[in-house]
Amino acid sequence: MSLSYFDDLAGRLREHGVPAERVEATVADLRAHLEESGGAEPEAEFGPVEEFARDLAPAGGEGRPEVPDAHVETWRWTADTYVDEELLNRFGGEGWEVERVDALGRFVSHRDLERPQRWEYRRELITRGREGLDERLAPEGWEACGNWIVYAWFKRPRAASVGPGAEISVPPGVPERGAFFSRRFYVLLGVAAVAVVLAGVVVAVDDGDAGSGFGFAGGLLVGALVPLACLWGRQVWRSRR
């Protein structure tokens, strides 16, 4: 794993005005993510370090420390595709506006503390490109707010449909969690692990050596469960931070 990439990233984040403790936590999270994904080269996983640093840093001037806005609170969170649209609308109803989706697939959100308003969201599949999607949705007030792999998300203020009722008098606090994964997501991971083990058993049995078959299957089972356990533990740890 390239150490210079993360050293360079940490330096650029500090140049963008990110506090030292946040830089340290961000880099640690990125290292853990890279190890869990198989130890790929950082640049191949995250892209050029300069662009990645700009994406991770809070919105502000190019290369200038950000001046915190006392009237706006920010929050980054993530969810699987089984629940993301539902949660976007729930949190949008609490005043959270998504600015973009960062390189790690997190929704970068902010909320005006003085006059928070409700937002609504929709997700679209873009496997074949956007194909004029933005233009088709614009007349209804939808504005693009992020992309991730094969999905695009759009937002619009609920004031367009409910008027003054879209304003929130007393918004709830910032959610304590930053990761939301559904039971279906964990079931999918479990099914994938079982499929890997069954495939290993079939291959081993075809070799005609029952002993090696059980050993190979056991090894695959452990190999499948360890990364799943690490992923689960990391998400629990991050959600409690």
For position 155, what pLDDT does the model report?
96
pLDDT averaged over every residue in the chain: 78
C-alpha dist (Å) from residue 76 to 47, 89, 144: 20, 15, 18
111: three-class secondary structure by DSSP? strand
Q: What is the mean pLDDT of residues 25-42?
A: 78
**What is the pLDDT, as a whole number, of residue 66?**
41
Q: Is 3 helix (H, G, I), strand (E, B) or coil?
A: helix
**Is the pLDDT score of 204 beyond 70?**
no
Note the pLDDT of residue 239: 41
pLDDT at residue number 225: 52
pLDDT over threshold 50, residue 164:
yes
- Kindly give the pairing relationship between strand 179-180 and strand 143-148: unpaired
**Domains of the chain, residue spans:** 3-56, 72-180, 183-239
Question: Coil, strand or helix: which one is 77?
Answer: strand
Least confident of 72-86, 142-156, 176-190, 197-211: 197-211
What local confidence, expressed as pLDDT, does residue 106 receive?
A: 93
Give the orientation angle of helix 20-36 with respect to helix 210-239, to 10 degrees. Answer: 160
More confident residue, 200 or 92: 92
Mean pLDDT, to the nearest integer, of 168-180? Answer: 89
Separation in Å, CA 38 to CA 7, 198, 228? 20, 22, 13
For residue 152, pLDDT beyond 80: yes
- Distance of alpha carbon 206 from its chain centroid, rounded? 41
pLDDT category of residue 219 using cuts at 50, 70 and 90: low
pTM comes to: 0.57
